[in-house]
Structure 1
Amino acid sequence: MAQQSNGDALADSLLQNESKGNSISVEFEELLEQNLKGFSWAMFLQVILVGLSAFFDSQQSFISIYTDAIPTWHCINNGSICKHSTDICKLPTSEWAWDEIPTKSIISEWGLQCSSVFLEGLPASSHFAGTILGIFLLASLADSWLGRKKLLLYSCLMMSVTGIITILSNNVWIYSLLRFIAGFCRATMATSAIILLSEVVGKQWRGRVGTLLFFFFMVGMLFLPAIAYMNRRASWRHIYLYVSVPPLVYCLVLYLFVIESPRWLFVQGHVEEAIKVVKKISPIKDKTILMRVDSLSGCQRRESSVNVFSSTKDLFSRKWSRQRMITLMVVAFGIGLVFYGVTLGIGNLNFDIYLSGIFNGLLDIPVVFLSYFLIEKCTRKTSLLILCLASGMFSVMIAVVAEKFKMIQITLSLATFLCSDTALNLLLVYSVEMFPTSVRNFAASLARQAVTFGAVLSSLLNSLGSKNPFLSYGVFGLIVFCCGFFVLILPETRGTSLCDTMDEQERKENIVQS
């Protein structure tokens, strides 16, 4: 660790002596770290306001657990055929009825209980498919002309509006289309939020503010089963109403009080705006340092990314970044598969979905503390590798344990959730640290896209696994176990400073390696 720290310090020192064209960038980075050292109330307000986006994002991610569930049913006449059957698809409709109102779930309202596996999993898969497309088309906007704040604002606003419109759905096809649009809209919320948080604080606070984002995600997961439980005797549309309206109010607060990333402003050539932001949130009141910041106000950045797809070209035009991105996406795919697979598949264990949701939400409390500990004290590579292997083994064990050992299955499911959720948190921080400002949002979004690929596949596997757990939990575990070993190829980033451009990143890493 000491050698790596010394290597990074040497790299930073040598970078300051690079060509004159990079001197402004290096000086700004130096002053940025000086001014963002510590933690001010203005920073705290920004972290809280941006972190709230994760609260709403988590609810849209997992709302289908309750709105798309197969409700419980009962025999009407207690006939011999009905009493000895556990499959309502083999019974005449006159022999059974739903325990609650038919509109409790889209399954019962539209009679999908005996439909194909494809149709049952279509809404959830559509949502995550929309997320994949949204990441691909929208992610580069945060690195180019929209920026972090505006993309977060527009994503949250459109997600909320689409959620409200979903209430009007009258069949599974329209519903799936709107879930696709909602996924498209919220695609970049998580990455925009964590990058915005990482770029308004100094490097000593980077991991900590990321952990706070995970905390809000956890709180959102805890509120969702509570909302669903309070509306358990009402239509599934009520859940969408209570989950989709509050983000509208949040968007107004976001627009009025959240600032843009000073790093992004600087890279885009808005030097004076970047300096104003730094001075506004800086906990340092040293006049000498502030005068040095003001001295940059007349300078202009020589590179400003106005091309929407420039970050895509920059990221994949260099061999080192291309290989790093592909490797990171393989790891992310495995983590996403097991995390969403276990979370969305809790109904397959025939356990109360409200209690399961609350248990998962409560388990996020130790996840937050574990994430914080690993981010602050341990290396990224070792932590991710261990978590991937552990979640893989636990997931396979769920499939091995017979259904009669119900409590053991639930315990293993919670253990898998803990490991995969912590791994996902670390992955988000890791992806932010691995790439420079000019491509950071796009790169981190591609990692999220790979996570979402895993979510799409997990939705289909969960439908298959309703009758054979090896087709769901067994596959989840084997894939994430294998993907975990790809972490060994990636560089270690703990304690390193952020770079602004691809050239700076490349020079710094070449110096460290030499």
Structure 2
Amino acid sequence: REGPEERRRMGIDEVLQRHAGEFGAWQLRHFLLTSAAWALEALHTMVMIFADREPPRFCALGPGRCADPDPCRPASAGWAWAGGPGASTVAQWGLVCADRYKVGLVQSTFFAGCMLGAGVFGHLSDSFLGRKGSLLVVCILNTVFGLLTALSPSYWTYVGLRLLTGFSTGGVGLCAFVLATEPVGPTKRGPAGMSTFYFFSGGIAVLSGIAYLFPSWRILYIVTSLPSFLFLILILPFISESPRWYLVRRRTDEAMDVMRAIARANGKDIPNDITLKLDDDDSREQEESNNLEKGVKEQKTERAAGGSIVDVLRTPMTRLRLILTVAINFLCSIVYYGLSLNVVNLKTNLYLSVLLNAVAEMPAFVLTAVLLDRFGRKPLGVGTMWLSGVFCIVGSMVGGYGAMKIVRMVCGILGIFGMAATYNLLFIYTAELFPTVVRNAALGCATQASQMGAILAPMVVVLGDKVPFAVFGLSGIVGGILVFYLPETMNKPLYDTMAGMEEAENKILLK
């Protein structure tokens, strides 16, 4: 039987499983409120599809009275942009022919901002700002930068503001994901984490309707920025800080308050004699009993309170995991964003195409949520990446005319289906591969790698009809091979410290 001291001091996962509940009413409410931020990220990210589109042209002089239009001079010979110059940034600043590259430059600049923001806010959310504090800051910045973008007087001002919007957007999904999943018990964390992407796809679907109702690019930026402000005043005050962040910052009383609130809302009770501990507290106490020097003890306390990406790279086990997750996220992002942005080249109804793409992602999330705890993270990661890769390779082998055009479109949809499932899976997988003290820093690096892939994706799309599909296919196959080298994390504890994770992994190896 357990002794009194062992019963009194427990890790967060153990308290959730034995006393507070792994996914009850409190976690459901907290999850829904926090994950709504993913819809905000979708609005700020995918708005470029509509704001930077090339609208159709019409004869302003009347039917049949205009000469053949000069594609490099849209206003020549009586031709005008449908919706006027305010219909999109392309119409506003004439981004065609020699200036067409500027459309891709804006998109790449936005994702470059996302890459920087993911790293910065990944670190800040692990350190003094916390998960909720970081989410507060990025939503404020998104609101301000989004509204200023609508007032852009010139193209280069527009580029600069999209860079800043990307910087703040890069931290939204990252902070929301960790904040939503950390209070969830270990056996429920996987399906919960996978479900966050429904909000991102839902945001894209809503965006297609918003863009249809507000075709002016300036008004579109205003309408898509206001939800971030509404999130700040209507939702964020009702979201709790992560108890795990409190605990690693040595704010045990506040962590315990959150745990008791979880238990009360779930109709359970935590005994008064229970307190929380980090997963390496026992080994640390033993070490400190052998060394009473004050400086050593302060150093250990500081190390437990927070970590950085340097700590991840210092340890061989976490260093290899980081390298693999960075490479896999990079390849996944090339495929996902490449196939998503390629929708403008299909020459179909843009609003309907974006809506169908968003809807097509949702069955992938259902599939991964159902199979996640049945087959594990690794087999599912390999399978979904290879599924996408194979169909993209098939798409590169068929023509783009007649019936083959339909085949290629189906290959693209199935490619997005597979890679959306992988993208979803990688968030929960990456979060489980690293301990709490460096989790957001590691997720930040993985997200930065994703943004690097997103930066590259528009450049791949312009390579022609078949080459992009071939690149996407190769990326999927190679990514699946790399997943083989990651450890399985299904039903394993969510470790709090580097020392605790190393100790547990060493015990597994000794067995």
Query: TM-score scaled to structure 2, two decimals?
Result: 0.88
Bigger shift: 499-508 or 369-378?
Answer: 369-378
Counterparts of 1:126 and 1:82, CA distance in 2 = 37
Give the counterpart letter for 2:203 in structure 1: G
Q: Counterpart of 2:183?
A: 200
Q: Do residues 157 (structure 1) and 157 (structure 2) align?
A: no
CA displacement 1:286-325 (0-9 Å, x = unmatched) = 55x422335889x999755589983222111111111110
Distance 1:168 1:75 in 2: 29
Letter in 2 for 1:63: V
Instruction: Verify: 1:354 aligned to 2:351, yes or no.
Output: yes
Please name the residue that 1:441 is paired with. 440
Q: How far 1:253 sits from its partner (Å)?
A: 3.0
3-state SS, counterpart of residue 466 of structure 2: helix
Unaligned runs of 5+ in 1: 1-12
Match of 2:14 among 3, 6, 30: 30
Match of 1:169 in 2: 152
Question: How is 1:77-96 mapped onto 2 (pairs within 5 angstroms)?
Answer: 83=68, 88-89=71-72, 93-94=76-77, 96=79
SS in 2 for 1:507: helix
CA RMSD across the alignment:
2.9
Distance 1:116 1:284, change over 3 A: closer
- After TM superposition, give the deviation of residue 408 of structure 1 in Å: 2.2
| Pair 1:242 & 2:219 matched | no
**Structure 1 residue aligned with 2:483:** 487
Give distance in 2, aligned partners of 1:309 and 1:109.
Answer: 48
Paired residue type of 2:26: A
CA gap of 1:363–1:295, structure 2 versus 1, over 3 A, is closer
How far is 1:332 from its partner? 0.6
Cα 1:28–1:400 shift into 2, 3 Å: closer
**How far is 1:188 from its partner?**
1.8
1:32-111 → structure 2 map (5 Å cutoff): 32-74=16-58, 83=68, 88-89=71-72, 93-94=76-77, 96-111=79-94
Query: Within the alignment, does 1:375 sit opposite 2:372 as a pair?
Result: yes
- In the alignment, what sits opposite 1:396? 393
Corresponding residue of 1:475: 471
Which of residues 356, 360, 367 is equivalent to 1:363? 360
User: Which shifted more, 473-482 or 236-245?
Assistant: 473-482
Please give the residue correspondences for 1:32-431 in structure 2 after superposition, counting only pairs within 5 Å.
Answer: 32-74=16-58, 83=68, 88-89=71-72, 93-94=76-77, 96-232=79-215, 235-282=216-263, 289-293=270-274, 310-404=307-401, 405-431=404-430
1:352 is displaced (CA, Å) by 1.7
* Partners of 2:20 and 2:50 in 1: CA distance: 43
Q: CA deviation at 1:367?
A: 2.2
Amino acid at match of 2:256: I
Gaps of 5+ in 2: 286-296
Change (3 A) 1:308 1:436: closer
Whichever residue aligns with residue 37 of structure 1, its letter is: G
Counterpart of 1:377 in 2: which secondary structure?
helix
Change (3 A) 1:139 1:267: same
CA contact (8 A) 1:198 1:210 kept: yes
Partner of 1:6: none
Aligned equivalents of 1:459, 1:217: Cα separation in 2: 20
CA distance in 2, matches of 1:512, 1:198: 25
Q: Helix, strand or coil for the counterpart of 2:80?
A: strand
Of 431-440 and 347-356, deviating more is 347-356
> TM-score normalized by structure 1?
0.88
The change in CA–CA distance for 1:198 and 1:309 in structure 2 (over 3 A counts) is: closer
Stretch moving more, 125-134 or 378-387:
378-387
CA distance in 2, matches of 1:239, 1:455: 22
Shift of 1:333: 0.6
Code of the aligned partner of 1:35: H
Between 88-97 and 215-224, the greater mean CA deviation after superposition: 88-97
Contact residue 13 and residue 186 of structure 2 kept, 8 A = no
The alpha-carbon deviation at position 254 of structure 1 amounts to 3.7
Whether contact under 8 Å (2:306, 2:438) holds in the other structure is no
- Give 2:294's aligned residue: none
* 1:27–1:50 distance in 2 versus 1, CA, 3 Å: closer
Given that 1:166 and 1:179 are in contact with CA atoms closer than 8 Å, whether structure 2 keeps it comes out as yes
Deviations 1:12-43, CA, capped at 9 Å, x for gaps: x9xx99xx9x9997545532432342433222
- 1:117-139 deviation digits (Å, cap 9, x = unpaired): 53121111111000111122221
Identity of aligned residues (%): 30
CA distance in 2, matches of 1:319, 1:500: 18
Q: Report the 3-state secondary structure (helix = DSSP H, G, I; strand = E; otherwise coil) of the residue aligned with 1:97.
A: strand
Residue in structure 2 matching 1:503, options 487, 493, 499: 499
Counterpart of 1:271 in structure 2: which amino acid? T
Contact 1:399 1:473 in 2 (8 A): yes
Q: Is the 8 A contact 2:140 2:229 kept in 1?
A: yes
Any conservation in 2 of the 1:267–1:438 contact (CA below 8 Å)?
Answer: yes
Conserved 8 A contact 2:75-2:81 = no
Contact 2:55–2:82 (Cα < 8 Å) also in 1: yes
CA contact (8 A) 2:312 2:438 kept: yes
- 3-state SS of 1:472 partner: helix
Seen in structure 2, the aligned counterparts of structure 1 residues 317 and 23 have a Cα distance that, compared at 3 Å, is farther
Residue in 2 that maps onto 1:8: none
CA distance in 2 between counterparts of 1:62 and 1:385 reads: 27
Q: Distance in 1 between matches of 2:311 and 2:136?
A: 26
Distance 1:437 1:170 in 2: 44
Question: Is the contact between residue 8 and residue 274 of structure 2 (CA under 8 Å) also seen in structure 1?
Answer: no
Deviation larger for 306-315 or 27-36: 306-315
Structure 1 residue 471 displacement after superposition: 3.9
Contact 1:141 1:308 (8 Å CA) reproduced: no
- Change over 3 Å in CA distance of 1:305–1:113 after alignment to 2: farther
User: Amino acid of the residue matched to residue 470 of structure 2?
Assistant: G
1:112-168 CA distances to partner (integer Å, 9 max, x unpaired)? 112345312111111100011112222111111111111112112211221111001
Q: What letter corresponds to residue 331 of structure 1 in structure 2?
A: I
Deviation of 1:90 (Å): 7.8
**Secondary structure of 1:30's match?**
helix
Contact 2:338 2:457 in 1 (8 A): yes
1:461 corresponding residue in structure 2: 460
Deviations 1:51-92 (A, max 9, x none): 110111111111100000111124567889955x8x712888
CA deviations 1:259-281 (Å, max 9, x no partner) are: 01111101110000000000001
Shift of 1:376: 2.8
Is the 1:117–1:460 Cα contact (8 Å) retained in structure 2? no
